[in-house]
Amino acid sequence: MNKDNLFYRAWFEKDDNLIEHYVYFGIDNVPEFIKEANAIECYTGLDDIELNGIFENDIIEDVAGKRYIIEWCQDKLGFVARTSNSNDTLESLDITNYEHWKVIGNIRKNPELIKGM
């Protein structure tokens, strides 16, 4: 793997189903098929308690049962976790706290998980 490549999750819609595809690529080598994706989400570089990769738009839950949506924050130049109430945001994803999170879904395949957050 080239160090300039990042890990992404791409979503494709096929026959009213969402299909996820994982791929490494960089700005200079975007695969042709990626241009057809409905959405592309970046890997945060962090894993949850079960060693599942945490991606942009994933829904994570902490040990207290509080749920957060993972988002890129341009102001902070990093990923943040926020509740559906945007006033309740973790400042950044702290690599030392990963053992407190579990990926329980994502906003594309499991939108019901963010209702009532």
Domains delineated in the chain: 6-114 (2.30.30.290)
Report field, pTM of the whole predicted structure over 0.85: no
Length of the chain: 117
Q: What is the pLDDT of residue 56?
A: 94
Residues of the chain with pLDDT under 70: 1-5, 84-98, 116-117
Sign of dihedral through CA atoms 69, 114, 96, 51? Answer: negative
pLDDT tens-digit series, residues 83-92:
766 555 555 5
CA distances from 98 to 41, 82, 114 (A): 19, 15, 20
What one-character-per-residue DSSP string does 25-92 give? E-TT---GGGGG-SEEEEEEEEE-TT-PEEETTEEEEETTS-EEEEEEETTTTEEEEE-SSTTSB-SS
Q: What is the pLDDT of residue 35?
A: 83
Q: What is the pLDDT of residue 67?
A: 87
pLDDT tens-digit series, residues 45-61:
888 999 999 999 999 99
